[in-house]
Amino acid sequence: MLLTKVKKNYFQDILRLMQIAGEARKMPGVVKAAAAMATDKSKAAFRVADLATQEIENAGGSDLIMAVEAKSEEQAGNALARMEELLASGEKSAAQAPDILNGEIRAVNVGLATFRQALEAQGVSVANVNWRPPAGGNPRLLKLLKRVF
């Protein structure tokens, strides 16, 4: 039985998500469990692992996606509920590295609008940097600038 969950505009650190999925995989009856931000690469990985659903395919890049495959619907539901508990509480197992996200989060965003929007939707303070490549990224002009500096 496969169950999935999408949390809209819910940015989380990928290392923390990997730890949470690892905890779910230890639960009785769980065959597979995964959690990631809904990037194209993550969705492709979910497809390869046979964990993708239409709900996951429709998720946007600032959304958190979770999937659990278990021997029964009840076991999958329990594991998915545990993943959500861990997300909400910031709980970590003794074997995990310290969770740097328990303190106040202050982020610096360099040009990724969806990243900034997802963090702001969660009440995170974001300093936005409007960065552009030097010389507009023109290779010829960049070469000239390198000579000057």
Q: Which residues pair with 37 in a beta bridge?
A: 64
Last residue of a domain, one of 65, 80, 96: 96
Residue 117's domain comprises 104-148
Q: Same structural domain for residues 69 and 51? A: yes
CATH for 81: 3.30.70
pTM for the whole structure: 0.62
Run of H or E including 20: helix 14-25
Q: Same structural domain for residues 86 and 117? A: no
Q: Which residues contact 133 (CB under 8 A, 6 or more apart)?
A: none
Q: Same structural domain for residues 41 and 23? A: yes
Per the structure, the count of domains in the chain is 2
Q: Same structural domain for residues 85 and 31? A: yes
Separation in Å, CA 9 to CA 33, 95, 117? 21, 29, 8
Last residue of a domain, one of 96, 121, 136: 96
To which residue do tokens 């508990």 refer? 85
pLDDT of residue 96: 47
Q: Same structural domain for residues 79 and 124? A: no
111, pLDDT greater than 80: no
Q: Considering the chain, what percentage of its residues have pLDDT values greater than 70?
A: 90
Q: What is the largest CA-CA distance in the chain?
A: 66
**Single-letter amino acid code for the residue at 59:** A
Q: Same structural domain for residues 90 and 122? A: no
pLDDT in tens, 44-101: 999 999 999 999 999 998 899 999 999 999 999 999 999 999 998 874 443 444 555 5
